[in-house]
Chains A and B, each alone.
Chain A
Amino acid sequence: QVQLVESGGGVVQPGRSLRLSCATSGFTFSDYGMHWVRQAPGKGLEWVAFIWYDGSDEYYVDSVKGRFTISRDDSKNTVYLQMNSLRVEDTAVYYCARTYGDYHPDSWGQGTLVTVSS
C-alpha cells in the first residue's frame, strides 16, 4: 500500500540547518509531484513547498523562499526539504504528501517534528 515516512526532525537552534526526508513506497514515485506541508503548535495546516513529478520546477510559500529547498531522488523514491537559516516560527510538524499533477494531495505521511529553539 502507499506509504510516506518522514524523518530528520529534531531540536535545532535558530540560524542552523536541518534536512527532512520523506521515503515513499507502494506507488510509482516518478509519476507524482510532492508537497511539504507544516502545522505549527496549536495552528492549522500551512503549505510549504511543491516539486513537480519530473523535478522541473519548485514552488515555495513566501515565508521560506530563499531558506528552504525541496528536491527529489527518484532512484530512492524520496523527497527532501533542506531547511537553512531556521527561525523559531519554523517550529512545526512537517508532513510530506503526494499529488498527481497539481491535484489535491491524496496521501500523506505521519509527520516529523521540527523544534527551533535556543
Chain B
Amino acid sequence: EIVLTQSPAILSLSPGDRATLSCRASQSVSKYLAWYQHKPGQAPRLLIYDASNRATGIPARFSGSGSGTDFTLTISSLEPEDFAVYYCHQRNTWPPFTFGPGTKVDL
C-alpha cells in the first residue's frame, strides 16, 4: 500500500498570502497524484489531477508540481474561500487508492 504523508498538518496564513502544501509518497506514484479541497459539509472538490493539471473551472491561482514521490500544491494568493482542508490522492498503485491525512489551511 502506498502511504501518502502531507506537511504541514496546519498552515496558518492570511488572505493574499502564498500557500505551499507538500505531499510525499512512500514509493513512486509517477505523475498520478491529485489534490482535493474539502470544506465542512461539502463535497470534496478536485483541484489538480495527474500532478499538474487543473481540473475544469479551477482558478489559475492553484497549481501543482512534482513527480515520483514529492509533490507540491501552491496557492499563489489566498482568497477567503480557499481556507479549507487539502488532501492529496494517488491512483498509481491500487487497490487501495490512498489519500494523505490532509493539510488544513487556517486563517
Contact = CB atoms under 8 A, between A and B. Distances in A.
Nearest to A60: B95
Given A44-B102, A103-B49, A62 B91 contact: no
Contacts of A97: 44
Contacts of B102: 44-45
A50 B43 contact: no
Interface in B66-107: 85, 87, 89, 91, 94-102
Interface residues of B, number: 27
Interface string B42-68: 111110011000011000000000000
Interface of B is mostly: loop
Contacts, number: 62
Given A46-B99, A61-B96, A104 B42 contact: no
A27 interface: no
| A contact face: mostly helix, strand, loop, or mixed | strand
Given A103-B49, A108-B44, A44 B94 contact: no
Contacts of A102: 91, 94
Given A45-B87, A102-B91, A108 B99 contact: no
A35 interface: yes
A47 B2 CA distance: 13
27 contacts: A4-B43, A37-B44, A44-B99, A45-B36, A45-B44, A45-B99, A45-B102, A46-B99, A47-B95, A47-B96, A47-B97, A59-B94, A59-B96, A61-B96, A95-B43, A95-B44, A102-B91, A103-B91, A104-B50, A104-B91, A105-B46, A106-B55, A107-B46, A108-B44, A108-B45, A110-B41, A110-B42
